[in-house]
Structure 1
Amino acid sequence: MSTLKNDRFLRALNREPVDATPIWVMRQAGRYLPEYRATRARAGGFMDLCRNAELACEVTLQPLERFDLDAAILFSDILTIPDAMGLDLEFQAGEGPVFHKPLRTEADVAALPKLDVNRDLDYVMNAVRTIRSALGGRVPLIGFSGSPWTLATYMIEGAGSKEYPFAKGMLYGQPDVMHALLDQLADTVADYLNAQILAGAQAVQIFDTWGGALPFAQYDEFSLRSMKRVVSQLIREHDGRKVPVILFTKGGGAWLEAMADADADALGLDWSCDLGEARARVGHKVALQGNLDPGTLFGSDEAVAREARRTLDKFGPNPGHVFNLGHGISQFANADRVKTLVDTVHDYSAELHAKGGN
């Protein structure tokens, strides 16, 4: 078993006692940091940065040099799988990701290639190995993927969307075609996450960014079902340790009980959930991760500290909480506020944990 100098994050995911609540931040390596912007400029483009293991490692470690974070997360993107499938991904300035070859027909779906993730996405595994080595056991490394439903929406729409006319058109009009796509993506996501685990990721998160765009019945059938298919295939122990799995559905507060039965170890919560109520609803089935409003970081240091303490109080001095934002950090966030957040979480939660919980 490899030695970890700080294993709070993994202990919390396993609902074991910790001396202080661990914290990491979704998109903690990103545009709010000037050093990230400088490295990205050197790389020449976003996907160029993702494909360069040394530079991906550099930006992964940048937030850890500034803040006392309890985990690192692989620097990559959720759209690596559809990019490798040949959908011609481009990141357009001011527009975000665009696929120039979207899936619109049954024939398009049937023509998708089956990926060999270690060959077709070797740059991701190279980055995982490089980062894990550079960390030297400092903190755990998180691997990740987009959920099958979230990947499918981008692949079908060709870009981000507010109404998902093509994806929902396929879901309601050709559900068998949508299921075929989701099943293929689920198996590929499982292969992809397992490859990251074997390369050195010590926990993995599935980002279901657009699951909240679905009604209740369709969420269960088209998003949660495919995530369960992923989880059922994952390596759950490696290098002498359990490998925890986190499910994060943005807008998923209505489905926490169903998500808690998906055999994951933790659920990520967005800021629309009450953390105390969420804990009462899922009981001791899973750990919870979250869920501070990312907009809090636009406030003062006093406001950030106050809201961090409020969030910690909601969960209480109980095992099984990983502090995080309710979604990714904004590119306009003030890095000084992030330091205030991290330090407050550690200092205040240490007082709570000293009191003990149940």
Structure 2
Amino acid sequence: MNGPLSGLRVVDVTQSAAGPFCTMILADLGADVIKVEKPVGGDDARSWSPPAWGDYGCTFLALNRNKRSIALDLRSPAGKEIFTELIGTADVLAHNLRSGALDALGFGWEAARRINPRLIYLSMTAFGDTGPLARLPGYDPLIQAFAGLMSLTGERPEPGAPPRPPIRVGTSINDMGTGLWGAIAVLSALMNRERTGEGQLVQTSLLETAVAWIPYQIMAYLGTGQVPGPHGSGTSMNAPYEAFPTSDGYVMVAAGNDVLWSKMCHAIGRTDLLDDPRFEGNPNRVRNRFALVEALSETFRTAPPAHWVSLLQEAGVPCAPIRTVDEVVVDPQVEHLRMLRAVEHQEIDGYQDVALPIQWDGQRAPTRSVPPTFGGHTREILRALGHPEERIAALLADGVVAETKEE
């Protein structure tokens, strides 16, 4: 399929996770994404290993398909000239450098807008571009801690017991979320440009993303004055709505209303709980959660997850086994949805990647190219900008640009 952003160019000054995820979304949608990397080492995520697949860090592989790479020294005068040329050809410039970093190099929003008035300029930072913490660096787990996510993640303590240790969410949720918000911001700014003909500064940050992940916990605190805490696999407002231990593993049960509660009790042979006043109505079940979990766990421990999943699904009660990644990647429904695709890779046998979770008329955005080698398109991009071969050779010799060395 021809992506909806075909014909648009994104100059991508991002590294690590949040920025590359954003620009990969734009690349999957058809944009020509030129990844501008440091002339020594490139994107830090290239060396984030183990785990690695071949010679590549798995994080880099996951977030950088459908892009071209140029290795460019933005601190050198010649490098600044080339970067200025790239901005002049771009529809979007995206960065996730520390706040003020591109400004210090002479490529802040105002300077970039003078080069290209139609430019969409996306800034993704840790704490925002302004404010008392704007210049601080930040990584996903630091923001999870700072914004309260870690206080909400982890095991629910028993009554009277001390708090449990903080737990990080198992994926880089703020990085990925900021990448999503960045892509949404770019798409909306492109639509605005269609109407006005003008570029726009759009901004997002890890901190804003983290706060936006917990709106109902914040509203609960504002409304009650009670500080939310961790609830393990469950939530604060529904019960039973969590994972229960079985004879061999766990089963997740989401009986979030009275109808499902009744169906669950009948399915597992615990109709006696329906007559217990402590569990009449969801508010009572939430208030008496510990007694409820103890009673249900006593039953669920008598058989393995498959037994309970079969019974509950037949009764129409939402449930699922707790599965591991190796089970997920061979799941028939995941396979049916084509979320994993085999892609030809010159260096890695059996290479696959994870698709965008979107379909257009039954089609997914294709992988047009695997994640690029370091500086693998440096010559190609410079030639397209009109640089002659002798000039390119001089830039390489001076270290202004770099490229992957052929073995």
The TM tier, using the shorter chain, reads: under 0.3
> Which structure carries more helix by proportion?
1
* Structure possessing the higher relative contact order (Cα contacts under 8 Å, 6 or more residues apart): 1
